[in-house]
Structure 1
Amino acid sequence: MRAVTFFDGDGMHDGTLDVRDGRLRLLPRAAPTDTPHLDGVITGLFTDHHVHLQLVDPDLLPASRLGRVIDLGADPDWIAEVSRHRVTVHYAGPFLTAPGGYPSDRAWAPTGSVREIADAEHAARTVDELAAAEVSLIKVVAHSDAGPVIDDDAFRAVVRQAAVHRLPVVAHAEGAGQAQRAVRLGATRLAHAPFSERLTDTEIAAQAASASWISTLAIHDDDARAVAIDNVRRFVAAGGEVLYGTDMGNGTTPVDLREAEIDALRAAGLDGLDLLTALSPADPLAGGALLLLPDGDPNRARRLTAADIDIDTDTDTDSTEP
């Protein structure tokens, strides 16, 4: 057995790691004082809060360091089937956008992954249909730099009907003023940390009080990345919640933890417990795969094996423990 430190989503704790029936087991109790300590921090697998599984190979997920992903734009029938056979997958189903709005004109958008919303009545009806399809959240697009955007009445109708079904609304907000507009109209999460413009401190404070941001910092070029990092740094200082997300499928991205995203979050001032919290790791006490973070560095995280504690995997080291 080994004495270990583990992170359960709330803080660091002392624990004990051993092997039972050939499987690693983390116990929420301090090991005896003479037990060797395993260097590093143990967590559960991480969460990517912004992925597009139709644009990557989802069969790669089970071997990754991700235990949960949030798909923010896919054909609802396709993603529902994928979610039954992979790691934990929550999904929004299609992008909800204005007629002719982004990404309805993009070749990369799979058939069925976009719904063009004509008006408020259509918006409410679409949310009802998606709720019946068991989506976990609703995604609205407000990308004014790429075409028409869903109008205020339709946006409010999405938010109102999503609330009926207790579904959060996440917005792709791009273009001047769109991040503020999306949150003002009721979105409680932005799919991308704002990158189109530097928000004022007053705007940052309003955002921090009303919405969380999914990072996606590494997808941007130098100028947009600098704007996004500056916004995130001030958003965190104002008490805002940042969630790790990569926009997996946007360009060449790993179907795994993205080290460039971790580096960008550090550049924005997130490190230590703040960074681990943004990664939303699964509870390591719940069973399943465990990760070891050497020096607490997520970029060096790897799956633990019995060899890490030098125990014969056929040995039951604590047969009295339930």
Structure 2
Amino acid sequence: MPAFRQVPGGLVCGGFTDHHVHLQLVDAAALATSVLGTVVDLGGNPAVLADLAGRAPAAQARPRIDIEFAGAFLTAPGGYPSDRAWAPAGSVREIPDADAAASAVSEMRAAGASVIKVVAHSTAGPVLSDALFATVVDIAASYGLPVVAHAEGAGEAQRAARLGARMLAHAPFSESLTESEIAQQAASVEWISTLAIHDGDTYRIAVDNVRRFHAAGGVVRYGTDMGNGPTPVGLNPREIAALREAGLDDAALLRALAPQDPADPASRLLLLPGATAESADPLLARPLAPEDLEALR
């Protein structure tokens, strides 16, 4: 359970985490007034993201926004999103062989990546072979970097898990997983939610998969795919509502939001008015104001 401080007005915690954003597709400056304390960019130009991450603490007075990133999408030659107009310049590395995989992973690590993003989108073009996907996983692991996979298309979520991906960038939405598949996923892979980007059948499939994954003990991480359409630059109420629909209660939501450590002087501090450790609605959270600090003394 995240660390909190119970105060007369509610709970104090650190800023929340969005585990899937695209900072080059939004007005990132708007994060400064949000309740997010950490964002993880899962696909962009590594040089641009390294610059953003390096400037984030210095460009603002405390509290800061922590920026983590994967750097470029690693994909098969001609694979998604190499043909997408929205993909920022320099945000895709096409991987034809093991040498290219080693070069790309080394480049992302040198830029400061904390995770490696691999694309397995079989309905939008070619994907990495099993052997090459596993090679990327092994090379990333040698640097201590986990692999997060964009898995889309029949069987891709299971394939990514089998080949060693540690996280899925999206809760599976292409197909309803079997109970056996859900159990296998819960035992080995974390899911980043991104439920609110869907509608219709894909939304129903994704929410049902998350409901069963969560019930099976799987780790769900709050993530919105910020920049995919007109998403809020901050906490997304639709994502929170979808996670509740999938069975995550207040405590599970707070775990999924992975607040910063409130004891860290660099953390963004939030107040959840009227909350307790058992009942805390993240949508009520607001940045801790100077007058709140005076009231706590």
Q: What TM-score results when the alignment is normalised by the length of structure 2?
A: 0.91
Distance 2:133 2:215 in 1: 29
Contact kept? 2:5, 2:12, Cα under 8 Å = no
Separation of aligned partners in 1, 2:188 and 2:294: 48
**Cα distance in 2 between the residues matched to 1:270 and 1:240:** 12
Superposition map of 1:5-154 within 5 A: 9=2, 14=6, 37-38=8-9, 40-86=10-56, 87-154=65-132
Do the aligned partners of residues 115 and 236 (structure 1) sit closer, same or farther apart at CA in structure 2, a change above 3 Å counting?
A: same
1:291 aligned residue: 270
How many aligned positions are there? 283
Deviation at 1:309, TM superposition (A): 6.5
- Check whether the contact 2:74–2:117 (CA below 8 A) recurs between aligned residues: yes
Q: Is the 8 A contact 1:229 1:267 kept in 2?
A: yes
The aligned counterpart of 1:242 is 220
**Hey, which bits of structure 1, 4+ residues long, moved more than 4 A?**
309-312
* Per-residue deviation, residues 170-211 of structure 1 (Å, max 9, x unmatched): 000000000000110110100000000000000000001111
Which deviates more, 42-51 or 114-123?
114-123
1:85 is paired with a residue of what secondary structure?
helix
Tell me the secondary structure at the aligned position of residue 120 of structure 2.
strand
The CA distance in 1 between the partners of 2:225 and 2:178, in whole Å, is 25
In structure 2, give the amino acid aligned to 1:281: P
Residue aligned with 2:263, SS = helix
1:301 to 281, 285, 292: 285
Contact 1:120 1:153 in 2 (8 A): no
Indicate the SS of the match to 1:261: helix
CA contact (8 A) 2:5 2:13 kept: no
Which consecutive unaligned segments of at least 5 residues does structure 1 have?
1-7, 17-36, 318-322
AA of the residue aligned to 1:293: L
Q: Residue 78 of structure 1 aligns to which amino acid in structure 2?
A: V
Q: Matched residues in 2 for 1:75 and 1:309: separation?
A: 39
Q: Distance in 1 between matches of 2:285 and 2:295?
A: 21
What CA distance in whole angstroms lies between the structure 2 residues aligned with 1:95 and 1:257?
24
- 2:72 counterpart letter in structure 1: P
| Cα distance in 2 between the residues matched to 1:204 and 1:102 | 26
Shift of 1:254: 1.1
Distance 1:79 1:191 in 2: 18
Q: TM-score, normalised on structure 1?
A: 0.84
C-alpha change, 1:130 and 1:200, in structure 2 (3 Å) is: same
Give the one of 203, 206, 225 matched to 2:184.
206
Question: What amino acid is aligned across from residue 200 of structure 1 in structure 2?
Answer: T
**Identical positions, percent:** 60
* Structure 1 residue 272: Cα displacement: 1.6
Deviation at 1:57, TM superposition (A): 1.1
Question: Which runs of 5 or more structure 2 residues have no equivalent in the other structure?
Answer: 57-64
Contact 1:121/1:157 (<8 A) preserved: no
Per residue, is there more strand in 1 or in 2? 1
For 1:246 and 1:85, the matched residues in 2 are separated by 23
* Cα drift, residue 41 of structure 1: 2.3
